[in-house]
Amino acid sequence: MLVLKLKRIGKKHQAAYRLIVNERRDKNDGKVLEDLGYYNPHSKETKINADRVKHWISVGAQKTDTVNNLLVKNAVIEGKKIAVHSRKKAEEAKK
């Protein structure tokens, strides 16, 4: 299954991320199908190729929760943000 996810790049304590399309089970440090943009959380700089993101979503690619929130924040797609941290707490409570 194809998924839109973030690939961590940058030095220690200076993380930046690339928005990529890849198989869900593939590692992020290998080959990617397509690079769709980047996100720098320190400078809040974001560049996303909206046309290609919409294409991959229309083809059936899923989005991770964080990518979904990033796309909603930058008005690439419409919808609600997903509470990422509360989901982790709920999963830990089940264990």
Q: What's the start-to-end Cα distance of the chain, in Å?
A: 27
| Cα distance between residue 51 and residue 56, in whole Å | 9
Q: Tens of pLDDT along 47-66?
A: 999 999 999 999 999 999 99
Look up residue 58 and give its amino acid: S
- Does residue 48 or residue 95 have the better pLDDT? 48
Q: DSSP secondary-structure letter at 42?
A: T
| Cα distance between residue 64 and residue 35, in whole Å | 15
pTM, two decimal places = 0.83
Please work out, in degrees rounded to the nearest 5, the angle formed at the alpha carbon of residue 62 by the alpha carbons of 60 and 64.
170
Q: Tens of pLDDT along 61-80?
A: 999 999 999 999 999 999 99
Domains of the chain: 2-94 (3.30.1320.10)
SS3 44: coil
Q: Are 42 and 29 in contact (CB under 8 A)?
A: no
